[in-house]
Chains A and B, each alone.
Chain A
Amino acid sequence: QGDKVSAEKARKINNSYKSEGQLPQDPDIQDLKLYMDKRYETLILPINGAPTPFHISTIKNVSLAVEGEYIYLRINFFHPGGIGKQADSIDKENVYIKELTYRASNDKKDDVVPASNNLSHIHKLILEIQKKYKDQEQERKQMEG
């Protein structure tokens, strides 16, 4: 567990954007869908009408579930509350987003494609960008020796 804690501590703090002008303009964002900004390795989530960015390094894992006519996408974020963490090493000033779950219908209704396509597409992109990010981090660590 000790290794896990130090790995957590060593986690780099990444910034997605410097200013809101850098936020991408995309029809999916405008339509309150989920969007992956590959260039900035950032997932943009609609939270009550706000395009909320999350850097890929904050995402721990992601899962997709089909239940009846709906698809659910659950995004788990890193937070300092895992098992084996030292409670006193936690920054108590902050609250962490631990998990966000989205739902979309499988039904085509009047659209050409079902809304759930957005969630399955984003699921795939999160895995892809996460892998790319991890590979880069690995490379960076090796370079530093």
Chain B
Amino acid sequence: MAAMEFDEVYEEIRGVLNPGRLKLTSNSVIFKNVRTGKVETITKDDIENIKWTKRARGYGLKFITKNDTSLRYDGFKDTDLDRLKEFMTINFGKNVETQKMAVNGWNWGKVSFGAGNLAFEVDNKQAFEVPLKNVSNSNKGKSEITLQFHQPDDAKVSLMEIRFYVPPGDV
């Protein structure tokens, strides 16, 4: 396999799905936003690891780079996984790690930070991530943390604010 191309891929940015094309070559990952024409390239040597998760729009591939940033592309079908795995193993020497999503519907869990994201994990599975660059303002109360988000003009429905209750004594 010399290269793979996906024509219906989406990059989610602050509640907006940006359609684009994803091209995987033997030494890089290239995403072109079809609306803005903006191109993102990740070279294979920059890839630390690759994750596969259920997303609102199909399945998503997440590339975590060696300088600790995350790039996420959604809209894949579950049947794409096998050939993606094969491609990444052969060309990038990386596994695609399947990350199970928390679906038990609880509002309590654990918060962790990594690769520019705050992750909320329920019962040891990830429920969602918040890219920290989306946070416009944060407040820490006595046992409460509030995160407010940048509001894009083109989002139909957007998340304004998350408020966490942090039990006293917790760090």
Using a CB–CB distance below 8 Å, which chain A residues touch chain B? 13-20, 22-23, 29-34, 40, 42, 46-55, 58, 72, 77-81, 87, 90-105, 111, 115, 118-119
Contacts and interface: CB of A to CB of B under 8 A. Distances in A.
A58 B55 contact: no
Nearest to B154: A109
Contact of B130 (A19, A47, A53, A115): A47
Interface stretch (B19-27, B35-43, B83-91, B103-111): B103-111
B57 A97 contact: no
Nearest to A105: B156
B160 A102 contact: yes
Contacts of A77: 107
Contact of A100 (B101, B109, B161): B161
Majority secondary structure, B binding face = strand
Contacts of A32: 12, 15-17, 56-57, 156-157
Interface of B: 12, 14-17, 53-58, 60, 72, 74, 100-101, 103-111, 120, 127-131, 134, 143-144, 151, 156-170
B3 to A, nearest CB: 26
B156 to A, nearest CB: 4
A43 B40 CA distance: 34
B161 A99 contact: yes
Nearest to A122: B157
Contacts of A118: 156-157
Task: Determine which residue in A52, A55, A81, A119 has the highest number of CB atoms from chain B within 10 A of its CB, and name it.
Answer: A52
A49 B156 CA distance: 13
Contacts of A54: 105-107
